[in-house]
Structure 1
Amino acid sequence: MAQYSTDWHYMIDPLFFTANMKVWKEFSPEDQKLILSCAAEAEKYGKALSRLSNDNGQAYEYLKSINKLPAVTNPKEELKKNGMTVTEYTPEMIKRFYEATAGVRADWTQKIGPDVVVWIVLLGTSIAFRESSNFTMNLLYSITHGWLRKTLYFFGVLCSLAFFAMLVYLGAIEVIDEIELNVSSESLDIPVWLYTMATPLFSSLIIVRILQRTVEDIL
């Protein structure tokens, strides 16, 4: 077992419940509602476990109320009891650590840049549309039937197509401008249009994926 542990609040590790849309549609509305209810309960339970002894006692009370208190209700004290040195930073210490690492963050922000993030996000979005695993807002869609559901479906498709078509148009204009101006990135001296071309390129791919999925849903 490790001898030292430092609690320094450097990041949040988000976890998501996801479902393939094709599989999700195979469930009845009643089963979908049941699954969503179970997911919400599991989310509350998972948060309570991770925050146990780290909050004002709400996590402990919640787990107690559902009769799910674990054997160890204070993980840090349990680690200390078993010989581990646990260091917890005060808010002032966390602030000083954050300030001391500001240069590292600034340096890598320039090297990686938001444009690379755009590449990753849009590529992931195109894959999500291909796999029917993209995030959707389907509250109204789920409670409607017949022609109204179909109308909402095609309205959503048209809105998505219009949005990404606009990204293609505006992204193409930006790429052309950057080529004409011969702009390069400050950190790596790479032509900026190589980054920004991700917007029209992957937006076009996303439009293709949306149309493919729409045809599959209709047929």
Structure 2
Amino acid sequence: KLHHVPYYGITENGPFELSPSSKIHFFFILHKDDREVATKIHNYFNGKLNGFRGLSKFIHTPYHPDKELAIYFKDRDNPWPELYDQINNKDFDTDIQHIAIYITPISKNVPVKSQRLVYYKLKELLLKKGVSSQVIDPDKVITNDKYHFSLPNIAIAILAKLNGTPWRLDTKLKNELIVGVGAFKHTEVDIQYIGSAFSFSNTGKFNRFECFQKDQTKELAGSILRAVKDYVNVNTGIRRLVIHFYK
């Protein structure tokens, strides 16, 4: 069904495309003192608190918390050693799509670099285990009495991480290869990168991402050429190649 406002469209009609996973399990990663925050998020996801209908009604994704996988750590300032050990010691069933809800004790604006890196290292480690993740700021959950307004965006992000599609534009489907190229400079290490993202239709559905250093322009061109060849092999009626460049 159509709606000119995406939020109201998904609220009234549900997402455009559900996650292809038939078994989805959620689990929490948190400091032992943040149980109150986890309980509140759990109740929001279940639809038991005012202001949000729950994941099953909003994004039509069943909320199944797996308490056996929950991870608790003790060191708020340096949780990485505990997180690394506990995650590596867990066996994740490959027949189940897992998503971790990480209640971070470290602000993204903290001046200590090693603390800022915990989030990225955790995300990378989880991805290597085949686990998606969603971060939650505990201070916002506790201090913001209008936090429920954040839940739709969190739910939509979770659906996308589960390979679902919240909505798409009402345009005729076209067989075309769309390549997005962007430049980014990492200020902490003073290195510039070039990233490329590939989509094989005009629906906006993401297919692949690659990253190169600024002097690797031939490698970038090669990845685009390979994407075109891969696309032509499975789509003989290619209409056009679209390249977006953002700097």
Higher normalized strand content (fraction of residues): 2
TM-score, normalization by structure 1: 0.26
Higher normalized helix content (fraction of residues): 1
From the CA coordinates, give the structure whose radius of gyration is larger: 1
